[in-house]
Structure 1
């Protein structure tokens, strides 16, 4: 099944986000490849800056020539279906493009987001509505923030709202925390953050206490604990599990992420969330020529945390798997660790929660103004890393997690997955 290294082969990468661009750039180290990146937009979206776009401190857009290798053929279109048997993809324009190998890196979006089938880590084009959140009224009345279009719509809605408007942010993860803090610092609106059980579930308790104190200093009302989950959303309020009704002129939905249904529509095996089931080399359990990277991948039924940090390195690993198969060599299994999690708390504070390589939080964190500076350094470094791979393909390295193999031996994973150890 390997291609002749003296000939040519075509690799299609679906999705121009962190995973897709990293994969496409890394593939260019093989001079005999034709690499095509298919993305709904002609520019790269920095998803981790979308909360800044909402409040006017960044446009969250980078031109592709700044991050994408010149040898990569950018196709601005939407993939409607993958034809594994025919080794081709069907585009919304009606065209069909053939491939020898395919890397699917279509990312994720907010639950209820109106997106096309190729949502790509904040770079999805608008299109058909994804299945909405189970909360009544959320899809109709809440504003998601995971794509460029939805962030722009939220920005416009906030600009049109009166100064006295009550704003509710639903979701206790990094996106919810960052959005609530940014809005409280810059918009002048009364902001409530509805967390459900706990604020910042990933954070160590010490880091969580710091975030709670800083949000309080910014004037954010934080609701957490039993009954602090949203059970219904209307045009001007949200209802909580304990029966309370909160006024909410603008409701922002960050509680949960979903993946596009491209894999399911293409009859590929997926987990319950719709992520492509792969082995530890990121190869689809259905087809050795289809590789999954980023939020859409579920290696051994045990996917990594959805994040740009994981997406970049999964994209690099996916490219390495393709290059190994083309060379006739066995691809290596996944070995990826984590550094931690950065969360901005407005423009003047933040927290960098350090983590063990297995992505569990340490007690140590860096907060305050140093945390804000570190978060900005990380955001810029991500772009430099992706662009650096374009200039010198194959140069990106990442932290390793030797504990993953032990985890795989103790977890059954999804039925049908391959777990080479």
Structure 2
């Protein structure tokens, strides 16, 4: 009788669910997923939860394979030597292989007053804390959104479309990822919605108070509710467990997503730093990374050499309320190009992407191994940079233990 292999997945986001589903393709593998929430959070819709147009949660039964065992709890420590994890309730779970997919949340704001008076929206719990505050605030009261990446832009548009008086403080450039053509399109739509956009070098936030936001140029912006979308951070679980991390706390791995400390541990999603060159934090990266992490584990179980990362990007899509959006095309190295689809077609494309994400996970749950976007051609520039850094050596990191 074949020996059973226990695989533990920490984190039930896009990467963790994709990895867990994919590993059920082997009958001799038992997959357990530990996640602190009983439902799947469709994170790319959290701005809609803020605006009241979507619940942003999905039943795990709709995205997770039936054979995956679920534990609703939080991992507080990884014992790599003992191949086990400790849970918040005091229990332990042993594993043969571990997938580290703890995701990301809001970065700890260093700006005076931000932790006390600003509301992050990077997690479901963040948004749930914000909603009653918005609900008790008059619609005419000024709302300030800090941060002009996709989350900030989408949240500002959603609130403005709901009738709020919104100021978007960029702290620099509006939509820094976007091509100038796409940036002009986004700016025009925000203006049409009535959003006041403050961008440029004097718009860095220096202080937040109960009723205002102060900028580096000296301006004070009235704000009854301040929404904070500037930056992301990752849980410190890997560092607390003695594993090697980068400066932000992401688990350091080689190009097969294997920890530089322990080949029984692989990582995926926002919490991984392969070869100290982490990818853009996004769902677009998380699901392929989840599939790649699962393939690495399955290769090791089969006694085969895992394939290296081959990440390809295509675009960044941003909703601008429920009737407009932009689909910003990019090259495979994740650099925005001139081509965009905006307006109503852009909104439809963004909605199709949101629905497609759930379909990808559901399809993988029903037919593990069917997902293949992580195998698309791409990553050539990344491999060239890594080879140059290593003097022509193969793109795999040496392990430190």
Q: TM-score range by the shorter chain?
A: over 0.9
Q: 2:383 matched to 1:408?
A: no
Match of 1:300 among 234, 250, 275: 275
Match of 1:65 among 44, 61, 64: 61
Cα distance in 2 for residues equivalent to 1:418 and 1:403: 15
State the SS of the aligned residue for 1:203.
coil
Q: 2:149 matched to 1:173?
A: yes
State the SS of the aligned residue for 2:170.
strand
Segments of structure 2 that go 5 or more residues without pairing to the other structure are none
Match of 1:163 among 139, 151, 161: 139
Q: Deviations over 1:126-173 (max 9, x none)?
A: xxxxxx211111111100101111112222211110122110000010
State the SS of the aligned residue for 2:115.
helix
Match of 2:221 among 222, 246, 256: 246
Which residue number in structure 1 is paired with residue 345 of structure 2? 370
Segments of structure 1 that go 5 or more residues without pairing to the other structure are 112-131
Q: 2:312 matched to 1:334?
A: no
Matches within 5 A, 1:25-64: 25-64=21-60
Which residue number in structure 1 is paired with residue 99 of structure 2? 103
TM-score, length basis structure 2:
0.96
Cα distance in 1 for residues equivalent to 2:221 and 2:255: 46
RMSD: 1.3
Which residue number in structure 2 is paired with residue 235 of structure 1? 210
Cα distance in 1 for residues equivalent to 2:186 and 2:265: 41
Which residue number in structure 2 is paired with residue 122 of structure 1? none
Match of 2:193 among 218, 240, 247: 218
Match of 1:357 among 308, 325, 332: 332
Distance change >3 Å, CA 403–CA 369, structure 1 → 2: same
Does structure 2 retain, via aligned residues, the 8 Å contact 1:285–1:418?
no
Q: State the shift of 1:412 in Å.
A: 6.5
TM-score, length basis structure 1:
0.91
Cα distance in 2 for residues equivalent to 1:291 and 1:133: 29
Q: 2:79 matched to 1:83?
A: yes
State the SS of the aligned residue for 1:140.
helix
Q: Deviations over 1:67-108 (max 9, x none)?
A: 000000011111000000100000001100100000000000
Q: State the shift of 1:403 in Å.
A: 2.4
Cα distance in 1 for residues equivalent to 2:145 and 2:396: 40
Which residue number in structure 2 is paired with residue 14 of structure 1? 10
Cα distance in 2 for residues equivalent to 1:260 and 1:346: 31
Does structure 1 retain, via aligned residues, the 8 Å contact 2:211–2:223?
yes
Segments of 4+ moved more than 3 angstroms:
410-413, 417-420
Q: State the shift of 1:56 in Å.
A: 1.1
Which residue number in structure 2 is paired with residue 183 of structure 1? 159
Count of aligned pairs between the two proteins: 392
Q: 2:143 matched to 1:153?
A: no
Q: Deviations over 1:199-227 (max 9, x none)?
A: 00110000000000110000000011111
Does structure 2 retain, via aligned residues, the 8 Å contact 1:105–1:294?
yes
Cα distance in 2 for residues equivalent to 1:380 and 1:243: 43
Q: State the shift of 1:316 in Å.
A: 0.4
State the SS of the aligned residue for 1:227.
coil
Cα distance in 2 for residues equivalent to 1:167 and 1:331: 49
Does structure 2 retain, via aligned residues, the 8 Å contact 1:408–1:419?
no
Q: Deviations over 1:104-135 (max 9, x none)?
A: 00000011xxxxxxxxxxxxxxxxxxxx2111
Cα distance in 1 for residues equivalent to 2:87 and 2:135: 36
Cα distance in 2 for residues equivalent to 1:51 and 1:214: 17
Which residue number in structure 2 is paired with residue 276 of structure 1? 251
Q: Deviations over 1:291-324 (max 9, x none)?
A: 0100000000001000011000000000000000
Does structure 1 retain, via aligned residues, the 8 Å contact 2:211–2:225?
yes
